[in-house]
Amino acid sequence: MPTDRIARIRIDSVRLPLDTPISDAKVLTGRQRPMTEVAMLFARIDTEAGYAGLGFGYSKRAGGPGQYAHAREIAPELLGEDPNDISRLWDKLVWAGASVGRSGLATQAIAALDVALWDLKAKRAGLPLAKLLGAHREEVRCYNTSGGFLHTPIEQVLENADEARERGIGGIKLKVGHPDAAVDLKRVAAVREHLGDGFPLMADANQQWDRPTARRLGRALDRFGLVWIEEPLDAYDHAGHAALARALDTPVATGEMLTSVAEHAALIDAGGPDVLQPDAPRIGGITQFLKLAALAEHHRLALAPHFAMELHLHLAAAYPGEPWVEHFEWLEPLFNERLEIAGGWMRVPDRPGLGLTLSDRVAGWTTDSYEVTG
């Protein structure tokens, strides 16, 4: 078969509005403002033979324009290249912008292009992405986060939990980290009583506790039988997370805010956590996620990728251990397709690639576009 070549690249900056301003512990403690939109970065890569791949990344609150600007600068590096050589192309892109680093915004801009290349490769093979990677399962356990934010009154949280269960979602995550710890304990107790002892329940503090508070509240939360306590400490307090994981009966989860494989490796080397929560768009895409997944498997860590279920479902399905995937309906308006959920599980689509096409609404949210051919 003759070698195909990349002939066209399109980059779109999209501002996705949220129906309700979102507040977690970082807002209640004054560190951030409520979130009103998600900045999306979309990439489409076309080849001379007529194949096309769709990829995306994102940023919350700030950083979207920076990701878009960097992607525009480096995207032409892909023109004329063989799209099969994804790992080599990732290296080429990261070195094209090496002066701004190999993590953070620089590699997050690469993520959309990297995901598009993997989507393209799977489509050329006629396989869902999970199958191309080597799936271990056809469906993945899923839990809902969007119904349990701190701005949501507890009565509404309980209604949201019921709606999630009726949809077939298999777990509920509740935000904690309120300035008044008694509020946290009261809300967790109410949700646990409502769900019953056997239903999977997680708690997420969004980095808002110091070490003494995390130990004290972690021990208080042990009695609720949580699946995990998420981000109890600053994301870069690797030693603190490791020490807390040893001190508590409840597993400790973290990793979503880290922006490279190297940062995750440092977390793992420190001895924690029990559950790793990488985010493929934040660490540079699928190419980097696969490296991290191999490292996590080597250390026998549980895996629960953060956000972007439309992408992470495929990656979680290819993990040897039994993973979780996070249900957020926020990105659904961007796509024509919906993921199938039943009995606590999210099913891997049988469509080639990611199995996604952009909805007509995306054009109205697009703030800038860039296209290059060669």
The more confidently predicted of residues 150 and 196 is 196
At 23, is the pLDDT very low, low, confident or very high (cuts 50, 70, 90)? confident
Q: Which domains does the chain possess?
A: 6-126+362-373 (3.30.390.10), 130-347 (3.20.20.120)
How much of the chain, in percent, has pLDDT values that exceed 90?
Answer: 86
- Provide the pLDDT for residue 24: 78
pLDDT for position 118: 98
pLDDT of 205 higher than 70: yes
Six-digit token pair at 65? Answer: 């324009």
Residue 132's pLDDT band (boundaries 50, 70, 90)? very high
Confidence band (pLDDT; 50, 70, 90) for 148? confident
Q: Where is pLDDT greater, at 221 or 19?
A: 221
Indicate the pTM of the whole model: 0.95
Check pLDDT > 70 for residue 31. yes
Q: What percent of the chain has pLDDT over 70?
A: 100
Mean pLDDT of the chain: 94
Confidence of residue 316 (pLDDT cuts 50, 70, 90): very high
Reported as a pLDDT band with limits 50, 70 and 90, residue 30 is confident
pLDDT in tens, 285-303: 999 999 999 999 999 999 9
pLDDT of residue 1: 58
State the virtual CA torsion across 283, 287, 290, 291 in degrees, nearest 10.
-80
pLDDT score of 107 more than 70: yes
How confident is the model at residue 102, as a pLDDT? 82
Distance between CA atoms of residues 349 and 361, nearest Å: 22
Residue 151 is a catalytic residue: no
pLDDT average, residue stretch 311-336: 96
> Quick check: helix, strand or coil at residue 369?
strand
- Please give the Cα distance from 325 to 304 (Å, whole number): 6
Q: Confidence class of residue 19 from pLDDT cuts 50, 70 and 90?
A: confident
Query: Which band of pLDDT confidence, cut at 50, 70 and 90, is reported for residue 97?
Result: confident
CA distances from 373 to 5, 74, 81 (A): 11, 13, 12
Confidence band (pLDDT; 50, 70, 90) for 185? very high
CB atoms within 10 A of CB 374: 12
Q: Which of 34, 79, 81 is nearest to 61 (CA)?
A: 34
Residue 173 is a catalytic residue = no
Catalytic residue among 123, 306, 312, 314: 306
CB neighbourhood size of 357 (10 A): 12
Q: Among the options 70, 175, 178, 312, which is catalytic?
A: 175
Phi, psi of 253 (to 5 degrees): -125, 140
- Whether residue 173 has pLDDT greater than 80: yes
Per-residue pLDDT at 34 exceeds 70: yes
Distance from first CA to last CA of the chain, Å, rounded? 22
